Structure 1
Amino acid sequence: MPGIPACPQCGLPNTYADGDIHVCADCGHEWPGAVAETAAVAATRDVNGNVLAAGDSVVVIKDLKVKGTSIPLKQGTVIRNIRLVEDDPEHIEGNSDRIKGLVLKTCFLRKG
């Protein structure tokens, strides 16, 4: 089901809603539905699942072409002092040493 998050205990996605609670079919863990959905929306996570916060440093995991410039963002580039994009946990804002004003998808970043 698209709106139900993965189990917070075992991390497996085989979950379902049972009234006001969510249930994991694999481990049997039960948790309140409203609390889990708001926590899942609010967290910005990197490619490994680590929670990102404003001011963190992240590392680019693959070479990326940057629109508006001829300079690519190379694998291993460190983006320091990131800012979280409000209402969008899939993107962060930051600056590299050579390119300013970047908006990057979190699926290409790991916490550094």
Structure 2
Amino acid sequence: MMQEKNADLSRLPMLAMEYIPTPNENAKKIVALVKEQGRISGYELEDGQILNKEEAVALAKQDGIRGVGVATRNGSEYLKSLPDESDGNNLGNLPSMTPDEM
């Protein structure tokens, strides 16, 4: 019985996602976060493009962003790192900038 619970717990990060993209061949990686007053307001992609949260969620749903899924909290959609073997590519570990630095 206990092993069943542990197996279920290991799947929780994926179960929390509403949408898990299958990245297309042109999908980009997120390389930095844009933060305003400590909260994520956007994302910088590897090609230098900056998207606000809504644009990034829409692009992820079109399979245009690698390594993220779409989750919902309090009725708002947001991007969440897909679990893998590396912590370095988690959104929370990426560099961040403010709109003033862009």
Structure 2 length as normaliser, TM-score? 0.29
Structure 1 length as normaliser, TM-score? 0.27
Give the helix-richer structure, 1 or 2: 2
The structure number with the bigger radius of gyration is: 1
